[in-house]
Amino acid sequence: MSRYQGPKRQYKPFDLSRFGDPGPIVHALPPSDEGQTTREPDVGISQYAQADLPGFSAIIKHRYSDFNVFEIDPQGQVVRLQSLTPPDLDAKPNIDFQEMKHLDVPEDERKFFTSLTWLRLVQLAKKALLKEDTMPSETVSVDVTTRTKEERKQVHQIVRKYFPHLQTFTEDKTIGDELKKVISVLFKTTGDQKKADDREWPRERPKFLHFTLYKEDLDSMQAFNALSKCLGKKYKFTFAGTKDKRSRSTQRCAISFVTPKQLISAAKRTYFNQDRTALAVGDFSFERKAIRLGDHQGNHFALVLRHVDSRENAEKGLEGLKTHGFINYFGLQRFGNSCVKTSDVGLAIIRGQWQEAIELILKPRSNDRFLMKQAREFWWQYRKSDIALRILGHHSQSIEGSVFKGLKLSNEKFGSGAMNYVNKNSRLMYVHAYQSLVWNKAVSRRVSKHGLKVVLGDLYLKEEVPEVTNEEPMEDQEVSAQTENEDKVPLVEAKDENGVKDGNEAKDENEAKFGRNKVNVSIVSPENINDVSIHDVVMPLPGKDIQYPDNDIKDMYEAILKEDGLDFESFENSSREYSLGGDYRKIVAQAGNLQWRFIRYTDPNKTLVISDYNRVMGLPEIADEEEGPYLGLILEFSLKTSNYATMAIREISRIDTGKEQQGQLTEQHQTQDEERKRKADEQKENGAGPVKKIKTDDTKDAESTH
């Protein structure tokens, strides 16, 4: 599949002799999976919210700049990078201090201070205000030896109330011959006068630095690993959700006891920023709480569809999407992009077929990177995991590396013990993928039989479903078992090789599973059917704790499970870790704040949407080329968590969002553009006038905004 990336890198034949004699081959390599990719029908995606739309041809994600993802914060605001400037922490604070005499202090506060101690506090406060560059060395001690813990707390609060530019701390101090417990009061340090760490962090400053992370063509853990390495310590980043690697994205993140200048310096020194700005930080604020997983309302997308062949059909699809929404399928990204789907591994795990699960994870793939390909192929033939692990080298932190390690320590025995060396959330990702596959298939069968109308016995929720996943649906993101970027850290990893901890790791092990939300669904009856919309109807992801529809849809689930050798009881696993509770998901999703415009262009590889970073740097917006031969569609919309943008695009275009189909469209576009250039060169050589630019749709003006 071509994406104008140039020829593939050629590697020298791998020398296995340095690892010693591996012995005889015990297992033949499987047939090549070249060209085998996951298509929508393979994962149950086959129906549409509107069956009669004509559709149109277009190229999705030709470049990563065609896919822009902006987090929506808990207040419903779209997170955009607005400023790269750090706040001035050295600026003298505007202190609201008014001198108050001891007798003027209310009795319930005055009782903690003698008149002399209060006078010394006032004098220290005045000196502190006059000293702009140096800190007064005096310290005032308040004797609290006989005070309770609660009373000592009150003293701290009173001093901060009347003297906001002074700081306090409790210590033991020898006064005369006696050891006393005192609250020491001194001038408060500001800015970066001291090293910003948890021991010397200014008391008045909240510990968490919130910031906007802008990244392009990086996954979240890559970005955090690089920042942590450049900061020089093992810092803990927290965030609301991961974003797609092959995109440009903005999101709010948090880190403790780090200043904006430190973080900016680290971002500039990351290896990603050597040739271009792939990572930037800005919009800083200090807050008292971290950002937790799920602390957002979803994502806003700005997408580019290239080489649109029919503007009229695109308009029809967009108007339909605005009115009817789209079927809320789990997108192809959830299942990977190779001959082995993540749901295949999940099914083997649910069945307890550990050898099959392990072999599926380690099965060679044609799209592997070099070292991963060598390690997989070696293990498949010789079944020696210790050598395969050594071949992987620095990629040993991958899921495959963890499986190799588990096999090595289990004496090459296939079993749950070997799989347990894979971190828990990655293992659950596989079984969740199988649940998603069953959901997709069941919804397709339901829509095929009943359409999008409410049926007696349906399940519904009037309130919003609190979607549960162990990950953000990352467009075009693949797990390590399938990815072309096999050295990335698993999606929700407690700790990676650089020591970066995922601050969003679930507090309770059940939080990482489907079914953590206990929702009470209702059943559609003759009495309420007229009050229920298809937008209220939910269908279950199979599990031991969920309720199935009270109609023929339950039979559809049973038939799907039976095809895979399962039944409803299969999700009650003897291992609590794989015992799946299930969940509910709305059949139809809505694209909020939908708007679009068309743009003409000439260069197939031209960036058509400006990035937040370039906008901050003052670069102009991308201009429309009125006579450009190609038509592009720029659309923006918002989705809630767990909705897939590619499924919205599929609804309007009627094209398969898989890599195989998109690769074919890209190659066709490339061929057409080369032919156009060839004809232009020929006419130029023959002295003819310029080639007439033939537009790819009707000749309507491209400038239109909705």
Q: How far apart are CA 249 and CA 257, in angstroms?
A: 25
Q: What share of the chain is helix, strand, coil (3-state, %, to 5)?
A: 35, 15, 50
Whether 131 and 165 share a structural domain: yes
Residue 233 is assigned to a structural domain of this protein:
yes
Whether 206 and 248 share a structural domain: yes
Domain boundary among 296, 324, 353: 296
Q: How far apart are CA 435 and CA 585, in angstroms?
A: 11
Q: How far apart are CA 326 and CA 661, in angstroms?
A: 21
Whether 183 and 228 share a structural domain: no
Whether 120 and 164 share a structural domain: yes
Residues 6+ apart with CB under 8 A from 209: 254, 255, 256, 258, 259, 260, 263, 284, 285, 286, 287
- Is 644:329 a contact under the CB 8 Å cutoff? yes
CA within 13 Å, CB half, 646: 24
Q: Determine the pLDDT at residue 662.
A: 64
CA-closest candidate to residue 407, choices 371, 447, 359, 453:
359
Q: How far apart are CA 300 and CA 641, in angstroms?
A: 10
- Is 235:634 a contact under the CB 8 Å cutoff? no
Whether 205 and 177 share a structural domain: no
Whether 242 and 165 share a structural domain: no
Low-confidence ranges of the chain (pLDDT < 70): 1-16, 35, 90-97, 131-137, 188-200, 464-518, 574-575, 658-665, 687-706
Residue with tokens 């929506």: 72
Give the largest CA-CA distance in the chain: 106
Residue 333 is assigned to a structural domain of this protein:
no
Residue 706 is assigned to a structural domain of this protein:
no
Kindly state the tokens that stand for 171: 């210590």
- Is 503:412 a contact under the CB 8 Å cutoff? no
Kindly state the tokens that stand for 587: 């059949």
Q: Determine the pLDDT at residue 162.
A: 87
- Catalytic-labelled residue, pool 66, 244, 283, 697: 244
Q: How far apart are CA 170 and CA 181, in angstroms?
A: 7
Q: Determine the pLDDT at residue 1.
A: 35
Whether 112 and 171 share a structural domain: yes
Q: Determine the pLDDT at residue 5.
A: 44
Q: Among this protein's residues, is 244 annotated catalytic?
A: yes
Domain boundary among 132, 165, 187: 187
Residue 629 is assigned to a structural domain of this protein:
no
Query: How many domains does the chain divide into?
Result: 2
Residue with tokens 């071509």: 2
Residue-range definition of the domain harbouring residue 119:
102-187
Whether 218 and 138 share a structural domain: no
Residues 6+ apart with CB under 8 A from 128: 135, 136, 165, 166, 187, 188
- Is 430:328 a contact under the CB 8 Å cutoff? no
Whether 181 and 126 share a structural domain: yes
For strand 248-256 and strand 67-72, is the pairing parallel, antiparallel, or unpaired? parallel
Whether 292 and 207 share a structural domain: yes
Chain mean position to CA 202: 32
CA-closest candidate to residue 182, choices 171, 190, 191:
171
Terminal C-alpha separation, the chain: 33
Residue 644 is assigned to a structural domain of this protein:
no
Residue 597 is assigned to a structural domain of this protein:
no
Q: Determine the pLDDT at residue 700.
A: 41
Residue 80 is assigned to a structural domain of this protein:
yes
- Is 239:503 a contact under the CB 8 Å cutoff? yes
For strand 279-287 and strand 248-256, is the pairing parallel, antiparallel, or unpaired? unpaired
Whether 161 and 118 share a structural domain: yes
Whether 223 and 280 share a structural domain: yes
Residue with tokens 């692990």: 389
Where would I find the H helices in 194-340?
A: 220-231, 260-269, 311-324
Q: The whole model's pTM is what? A: 0.76
CATH number at residue 284: 3.30.70.3160
Domain boundary among 159, 187, 215: 187
Residue 270 is assigned to a structural domain of this protein:
yes
Q: Determine the pLDDT at residue 192.
A: 38
